Amino acid sequence: MEKRNELLEVTFDLALKAIDYCELLESKRKYVIARQLLKASTSIGANSREALGAESRADFIHKLKIAYKEARETEYWLALCQHSSHYPTPTAELQNRINSAKRLLGKILSTAKRNQK
């Protein structure tokens, strides 16, 4: 039985929620931001998974840094939607998921960098 991995669970759930929201955006013909948001939000989990197969601690940190950058980008697209009167408001659940992913990635990166030395 595979060990539970909170980061993979959080980022997978985030991606599923983002897919739902992007489908809503596309139904409202908001294709450009839907595509950008979909790429960034699903990349967080993909890079987190890649980090598990990292060849070294430096590679692990690098992959998680990419995931963190994608999380920040996702946060940006969601903020644009949140503050635009022409876009449906992202759900609180989606906002909470991105905040959880960023917080978790930050903690893991901090620990990994500290233990790298």
* Distances, alpha carbon 24 to alpha carbons 48, 70, 75, 88, in Å: 26, 21, 17, 8
Of the CATH numbers 3.40.640.10, 3.30.160.150, 3.90.78.10, 1.20.1440.60, which one belongs to the domain with range 6-116? Answer: 1.20.1440.60
% of the chain surpassing 90 pLDDT: 92
Mean pLDDT of 20-43: 98
Nearest partner of 68 among 100, 36, 115, judged by Cα = 100
What are the tens digits of pLDDT across the range 42-55? 999 999 999 999 99
What is the pTM assigned to this prediction? 0.93
Which structure tokens are listed for 28?
């409202």
What does the mean pLDDT of the chain come to?
A: 95
What integer pLDDT is reported at residue 116 of this predicted model?
Answer: 73
Output 1 or 19, whichever has higher pLDDT. Answer: 19
Nearest partner of 34 among 94, 78, 100, judged by Cα = 78
Q: For residue 80, is pLDDT > 90?
A: yes
Domain-by-domain residue ranges, the chain? Answer: 6-116
